[in-house]
Structure 1
Amino acid sequence: MTGARPLALADATEVLLEYAAAIDERDWGRLHHCFTPDCTVRYDDRRLTGSTAVAEFMGRVHRRIQSTLHRITNVRLDPSAPTATTAYVDAILIRRHPAADSVLRVAGVYHDTWAPFGDEWRIAQRHYRTIWREGSLDPAASRGQDGRGF
């Protein structure tokens, strides 16, 4: 971005909503474009480098999940860091099984740092932290085993 303008809340929100829609619609190319090519990302303990790695990881994670609904809320600019945002995510993931569907609901926080890329802003660094989860994608979890999401 030539003569970079400050990151606006609307810029960040638009990309975050694209990110959520790309996952829900399984559009990994669109997801790839939410991040800088050399981004660094942490989803809890998983570390990824590069937008291609992020898109491939999400594709693998969601391969056996038939339906998802990602809601992103409370997007805020960090007043002490002009290219940083915080946002909440509430995601419902549904895996279809013949006997019964498995549902995992996860809530967490995205801490993102943004970088100009051409005429737009993209996520350059992300740290996601799960703060709550309920359910499991593992049908065996209903028999007392722990089923983890990511």
Structure 2
Amino acid sequence: MIQLERLWLERELQQVLIRYAQLCDERDWGLLDQVFSTDASAQYGLRTLPDPAAILDMLRNHLGGCGPTQHLLANLVVDVDTPEDDSAEGDALLVSSRTAVRASHRGAGEKAAQTYECMGYYHDRWTHTPAGWRIAHRKMVVGFEFGSRSVLAPPTGLAAP
């Protein structure tokens, strides 16, 4: 992979990560298919999510009834493994990344004065689809957190699983 191709790949992945932050902070659930592949899975802490529907349910249950949030993603490190002939494109590339995340949450309603923050890393494995690069598997590793997780809540009328 030549340097220009690598820079373009990193830019494409960064745009998907930006969409993820937008999905979370604007509660724009329709962006899910611009972030995750159709067969994506994830692990957020001890919670294993086998498919995009489970990922969406988790996001809705944590953020849907929460107050304002801000997901800051930085320090993207991309690893690319290519076959020996070095001519691979798309699906033939084995692409993974690590991104630092700082997610700030404020409560809503009675919990509006409470906050919850976590900092850690997203470890993503990527796949190339006809629509572009998408996350095939995400593992979130939280380094530390402070505040009250009780601000994470489903939308009113929706019970948490």
Q: Does TM-score exceed 0.5, indicating one fold?
A: yes
1:14-60 Cα deviation digits (max 9, x unpaired)? 10010011110001110243101111100010011222221121011
Q: 1:127 aligns with which of 125, 139, 148?
A: 139
Q: Distance in 2 between matches of 1:100 and 1:18?
A: 26
Seen in structure 2, the aligned counterparts of structure 1 residues 100 and 37 have a Cα distance that, compared at 3 Å, is closer
The equivalent of 2:16 in structure 1 is: 15
Seen in structure 2, the aligned counterparts of structure 1 residues 137 and 78 have a Cα distance that, compared at 3 Å, is same
Question: What is the number of equivalent residue pairs in this alignment?
Answer: 135
* Structure 1 alignment gaps of length 5 or more: 140-150
The equivalent of 2:89 in structure 1 is: none
The equivalent of 2:126 in structure 1 is: 114
- SS of 1:78's partner is strand
Select the structure that is richer in helix: 2
After TM superposition, give the deviation of residue 74 of structure 1 in Å. 0.3
Moved more, 18-27 or 90-99: 90-99
Seen in structure 2, the aligned counterparts of structure 1 residues 122 and 79 have a Cα distance that, compared at 3 Å, is closer
Contact 1:102 1:136 in 2 (8 A): yes
The equivalent of 2:74 in structure 1 is: 73
Contact 2:19 2:34 in 1 (8 A): no
After TM superposition, give the deviation of residue 97 of structure 1 in Å. 4.0
RMSD: 2.1
Q: TM-score, normalised by structure 1?
A: 0.81
**Amino acid across the alignment from 1:10:** R
Q: TM-score, normalised by structure 2?
A: 0.76
Please list every run of at least 4 consecutive aligned residues from structure 1 whose deviation after the TM superposition is greater than 2 angstroms.
79-82, 96-100
After TM superposition, give the deviation of residue 96 of structure 1 in Å. 2.7
